[in-house]
Every structure is written in C-alpha cells, then in structure tokens.
Structure 1
Amino acid sequence: MSEDVVRDPGFRGLSAERTKAFVDAVVAIAMTLLILPLMEGVTESAGHDHTTWEWLVDQREQLQSFVISFVLIAMFWMLHHRLFVAVQRMTAALTWITIGWMLTIVWMPVVTALTGQVDDDPLQKILYIGTLVATSAVLLITRIHLARHPDLHDASRADLRAGMSIDVSMIVLFGVALAVGLLWPAVGYAGLFVMFLTGPVQSVVVRILR
C-alpha cells in the first residue's frame, strides 16, 4: 500500500469484502504450511526405509505441534471471521491493524516447526506462546478500534464487549501457560490446556468491563 493511499481520506469508503477474502486466503495458506515439516519427515523416513510406525514415533512431537497450531489458527480465524461479518468499510488504520494480525498468523508455521524439530528451550516457548498472545492482542485492538468507529460496522456494543472479554481472557491464559512452561520446563506445552478455563475467566472479565 502506497503512502498516498494511507493518507487518502477517501480510503474510508472502501468495502471490507476484499479484505475479508484476503484474510481468509492468508489463514488458509498458513494452515496449509503447517504440514510441510511432516511432509519433509515422510521423505526422510522413506530414504531410511522406515516403517509407518517408525515415522509416527519419530514425528510424534511434530504431529503434536501440527495439531495444536492447526486448531489454534482455526480458532483465531473463527473469532476474526465472526467479528468482520459486521464490518462494512475499511480505514487505513483498520487495514494496517488487520495486516498486523495476519503477520502473527503467518508466523505460526515457523514457530510450530521450531517446537517440533528443535530441542525445547525457554526462548522457543516465548516465541510460540508469545505469538498466541500477540494474535489475541491485535484482535483486541481491532475490537477497540471498531468500538471507537461505529460508522465502519453494524456490530452492537454488547457484541464488541463480549469479544473483548474473550480476547482479554485468552491473553491472560496464554500468559499463564507461558509462565507455567518457563517455571516447570517438564510440563512443556501442556500448560496450554489452561485454555479450557476461558469460560470462567471470561465471566470475570465481563464483570470488570461492566
């Protein structure tokens, strides 16, 4: 996007449909890229005449990382999709916020490959779970921006507030998962199971927002 477009007041009137289609395409590509390390593992196993069971055992950590990241990206996409159903017009600011959100999604295949192929270390957990925090944080920023610009959408304030409570809950729980992983390395990424507490934490956040 050129600087002239960014400063152009007429940019406010652009339809959001192209942006929605672009986001869907980026998310689909990111989810597809998650499978590449596993494909490389198949080639390596074939070269060593491994059996299917040996491949499964050898790739168990990568398989785990693939499933977790696939589900998380799908979850983030559903949250973003539900929000943007109500968005009708784009501003330069909203477009750049959305690009920032897509950046965190595109980065996910990289950190997923790290968790499956590189020995576990604190920085790895910071990069992986930190990316999840960033994705949730940018989505929260998106909702705040829309709340301040009601002319861009037809979402109710109640819906935006409910979405904010989900975003805040996820940020808090991802932070807890990161702390658990750093304090007790043996736990690994099992700390992400705290995400099952999203409902109770969201209830607390809703009371605070009210």
Structure 2
Amino acid sequence: MQTTRGLDRLVFFTDAVTAIAITLLVLPLVDSVTQAAHDGLSAEQFIGNNYAAISGFALSFVVIARLWLAHHSTFEHVRSYSSPLLLLNLFWAFTVVVLPLPTEMVSQFRTSPLSVGVYIGTMAASSLTLTAMTLLIRKHPRLEMEENPMPGREVFSNAVSTIGFFIALIVGVLVPAVNFYALLIILLTVPLQRVYDRRSAAARLAPAAQSS
C-alpha cells in the first residue's frame, strides 16, 4: 500500500540525488585549482587552461537545475505513486547521477561525435523519462491530485523539451561543426511555450465570448 510518507521519501531521495549530482560537477574543478596552485599558476592561467571544464560545469548545472525544476513542478500534482512511477523516477535519478561523467569526458577529451552523443543523449534520456512520468500521472487519476490536476501545459512543456533534446542530439552528432552548440535548440521551446499559452488562453475565453 502506497502512503504519503512513502511519496515524501521518494521525493526527498530524488532531491538528494540531484543535489549530490550537482555537487559532483564542481569537484574536478576544485581538484584542478589545488593542482594549479601547486604548479605555481595564476588565477588567470587556471581559468584559461580550464575554460572548457568551467563552461561544461556551468552548462551541466543549468541543465540539471532545469530538469529538477521540471521534476519538482511535476510532483506538485502527485498524491500517490505506483511501481511504474517509482521505476521511472529511479531511472530519472540515474540519468541525473550519470551526467557528471559525460561532463568530465567533455572537458578532458577531444570533442567527437561520441562525446557529444553521450553528453546530449544523457540529457535527452532524462527529459524523456520526465515526460513519461508526466503522461503516466495524467492518465491515472489515482496518482494525480484531485484538487491540483496535471495541466496540459505541463505535459506540453516536457514533451517539447524532450523533442528539442533529441533534435539537438541528432544535429550535434551528425554535424561535427555544431557539436555541443546544438543544445541552443532547446531555447526554441520558450517561444513554443508562449504560443501554447496564448492559444490556451484564447480557448478559455472563446466560450465566454460566445455566451455574451
């Protein structure tokens, strides 16, 4: 039998995993600072030598934070959980924990279709899993809060983000000159979300306009 306490533990566990993953992102840079100081390098030299690693850390932090915010928003509509939801959540946590590994690969190895594929592919898998959880919650009233149901906007946002990640994955791998810059495709989800919001608002106002 699923309980509220069980759901709370699931959410707390996921939050802790996300916090640890974000922390792991910066640890290689901390070690690099120690080594740079030991080698007598200046702060400017350290930043110049580790520009790729610093950029990778910043990008991965933003991505993990964005994924966590989406996860947090999704579980605001959850009142219970099921075995499929539990398994999907564990896999989502796995993708978040794995992300520091390709982040380090990106900073240490020469850019290649493989490193790009692993890096963006991990993000795409995480986003896809989150979308699957959103759809699962929306389709099962037992999981969804009656007083705070899963809105269509939430489903649309997660689905569009997932599509964006997979397009970025394909472009980044198949067009080596683009590589990690393919992630900028995700920015296109912002205007798409605004179009969806405007159409939803218009749809809500239409019945009122007709009745008047």
TM-score range, shorter chain: 0.7 to 0.9
8 Å CA contact 1:169–1:205 kept in 2: the answer is: no
Counterpart residue number, 2:149: 156
Structure 1 vs Structure 2: percent identity of aligned residues?
A: 32
Q: 1:190: which partner in 2?
A: 181
Tell me the SS of whatever aligns to 2:121.
helix
Residue 32 of structure 2 corresponds to 41
- Checking the alignment, whether the CA contact within 8 Å between 2:25 and 2:100 is kept in structure 1 is yes
- Structure-1 separation of matches of 2:82 and 2:158: 22
Superposition pairs for residues 126-165 of structure 1, below 5 Å? 126-154=117-145, 155-157=148-150, 159=151, 161-165=152-156
Residues in 2 aligned to 1:95 and 1:81: alpha-carbon distance in whole angstroms: 15
| Residues 1:72 and 2:60 aligned together | no
Amino acid at match of 2:167: V
Q: d(CA) in 2 for partners of 1:13 and 1:143?
A: 20
Q: Which residue does 1:98 correspond to in 2?
A: 89
Aligned partner letter, 2:94: L
- Consecutive unaligned residues in structure 2, runs of 5 or more: 204-212
Shift in Å, 1:171 = 1.8
Structure 2: distance between partners of 1:181 and 1:108: 17
AA in 2 matched with 1:190: Y
TM-score normalised according to structure 2 size: 0.85
Cα RMSD (Å): 2.0
The whole-number CA distance in structure 1 between the counterparts of 2:17 and 2:188 is 29
Matching residue within 115, 118, 129 for 2:106: 115
Query: How far did 1:205 drift?
Result: 7.8
Aligned to 1:89: 80
**Structure with bigger gyration radius:** 2
Please give the alpha-carbon distance, in whole angstroms, between the structure 2 residues aligned to 1:44 and 1:120. 24
Amino acid at match of 1:172: I
Of 165, 171, 181, which residue of structure 2 is paired with 1:180? 171
3-state secondary structure, aligned to 1:185: coil
User: How far apart, in 1, do the equivalents of 2:126 and 2:195 lie?
Assistant: 21
CA-to-aligned-CA distance 1:17-68 (integer Å, 9 cap, x gap): 1111111111111000000111121122122211111100011000000000
* Secondary structure of 2:99 counterpart: helix
Greater shift in the superposed pair: 90-99 or 174-183: 174-183
Amino acid at match of 1:195: I
Look up the SS of the partner of 1:90 in the other structure.
Answer: coil
Q: CA deviation at 1:202?
A: 4.2
Report matched runs for 1:17-32 at 5 Å: 17-32=8-23
Which amino acid in structure 1 is aligned with residue 157 of structure 2? I
SS at match of 2:71: helix
Letter of the structure 2 residue corresponding to residue 156 of structure 1: P
